[in-house]
Amino acid sequence: MEGEAVAVDGATHLRRAEDALKAGDALQAAASFAAAGDAAPFESTALGFLDRGEDDALALYLRSRLDAADPAREPETVSKLAAWLADLHVSRACGAERGTPAAEAATKDLRLFFAAHASRLDKEATKKLLAEFGLEDDLAHFAEIVGDVREAMELRLERGDVQGVFQTLRTFANKSSSPECVADVLARAFRADAEATSAFLSSRGASTALGGDECLSETLGELCETMLVETNVFAFDAEDSYVNGAEQEHGTRRREDDEDDVEKKKFFLRRRAADLLRSATRDG
């Protein structure tokens, strides 16, 4: 009896959906098709809306089906629905003219969708989709959401988006990135925009972004050792200031190979990291 009730109910929703289509009410048809569940063949229903150019109705149908699906019992259905919705959102983002309110709205909707359903998407397939359509910023955003923080920063660096790298650091880096990884990224950001990188490291939010004062200190130490090599700045005088070269008349500290000297040098580097970077900028 219970099975018959479900079948009758699904048939009823199908009739309502067909009636709505005849009346030209695509949104009502989408709601009824979704309520019919498996009684309405998924692909033929979705393609029907697509062929009619009813994108809003298609989105409503897909979202309703996805919200009603049980990931534990229907993993393949959930993945298929999520993939269709991802394609639809990407199509909208690409179809809107850049810089227009429509484009901004489409991008916002795409990112809201990722925030809500990223776990239901095939990660690599979604990245490939975004890359193929040239949505680099959205690709970096998706990488952040799925936990690929290093990849997100690499993508932003490739585009010269230094401020985007800093935003990623503020939001995600202390959750999954080592000081060595962050230092490497910051070194590349420094080469792209030394002034902005120095400003970021000197800001009040840098400690929080990098996981606290201890992590900030460790990251700065790694970064400064890298930048010392690249800028040939490695000597500190008795007042903790530095010079560009290997020697200074008074208080010269030569680089040596023993561990004690290395640790002392790291200590100075961590203390004067921000000043070093700013000064290196002026020298460059």
Q: What is the overall mean pLDDT for the chain? A: 78
Which carries the bigger pLDDT value, residue 88 or residue 279?
Answer: 88
In whole angstroms, what is the distance from residue 234 CA to residue 173 CA? 28
Helices marked H in 72-148 — which ranges? 75-95, 101-117, 123-132, 136-145
What's the pLDDT score for residue 98? 87
In whole angstroms, what is the distance from residue 96 CA to residue 88 CA? 13
Q: Sorting pLDDT into bands at 50, 70 and 90, what band is 273? A: low
Contacts by 133-140, CB closer than 8 A, 24 or more apart:
133/90, 133/93, 133/94, 134/94, 135/90, 135/93, 135/94, 137/161, 137/164, 138/93, 138/107, 138/110, 138/111, 140/164, 140/168
pLDDT over threshold 60, residue 141: yes
pLDDT over threshold 90, residue 133: yes
Q: Are 218 and 236 in contact (CB under 8 A)?
A: no
Which carries the bigger pLDDT value, residue 256 or residue 37?
Answer: 37
* Burial of 192 from C-beta contacts in 10 A (0-12 / 13-18 / 19+): middle
What's the pLDDT score for residue 283? 47
pLDDT over threshold 60, residue 169: yes
Which carries the bigger pLDDT value, residue 250 or residue 223?
Answer: 223
pLDDT over threshold 50, residue 1: no
The structural domains of the chain, with segments of one domain joined by +, span 2-150, 171-283
Which carries the bigger pLDDT value, residue 229 or residue 20?
Answer: 20
Question: Would you state the structure tokens that stand for residue 64, as one six-digit string?
Answer: 């309703």
pTM here is 0.72
What's the pLDDT score for residue 225? 67
